[in-house]
Amino acid sequence: MNLVTSKRESLRERLSQFGALGYLLLLGGLALAGPYGVLSWGENISLLEKRQVRIERLKQQRAELSNRVALLDPHNVDPDLATELTRRNLNVAHPDEYIIELKPQN
């Protein structure tokens, strides 16, 4: 009886050791090749740089839009911008005027 229980305990101990070893190997593999592992750092850095460039462009667009909003303040409207928007949206122009549309430079 003592021999049978010691074999069972030995088997349990070996299984727990193999389980722990498998778990450690899995963690090591994820640390090396996982989505946030050592091998994906280069890709993450390039994505970060691309996103920072995009954030800078969006900040510039936001500044331009906030400037236009400030120029369209109901209590102090910029007359040039109001004329430009009215003519563009309503297609209002005098017959002797020439309209030249310039594409914005990006």
Examine the domain organization and report whether 44 and 70 are in the same domain.
Answer: yes
Same structural domain, 25 and 53:
no
CB 32 within 8 A of CB 38: yes
**How many folded domains does the chain comprise?**
2
Buried-exposed string 70-90: b where 16+ CB fall within 10 A, e elsewhere: eeeeeeeeeeeeeeeeeeeee
Residues 28 and 48 in one domain: no
Q: Are residues 49 and 27 in the same domain?
A: no
**pLDDT tens for each residue of 19-77:** 999 999 999 988 888 888 888 888 889 999 999 999 999 999 999 999 988 988 888 88
Query: Do 83 and 104 fall within a single domain?
Result: yes
Examine the domain organization and report whether 23 and 47 are in the same domain: no
- Residue 23's domain comprises 1-33
- What pLDDT does residue 106 have? 67
Based on the fold, state whether residues 56 and 81 are members of the same structural domain: yes
- Interval 39-50: pLDDT, tens: 888 888 999 999
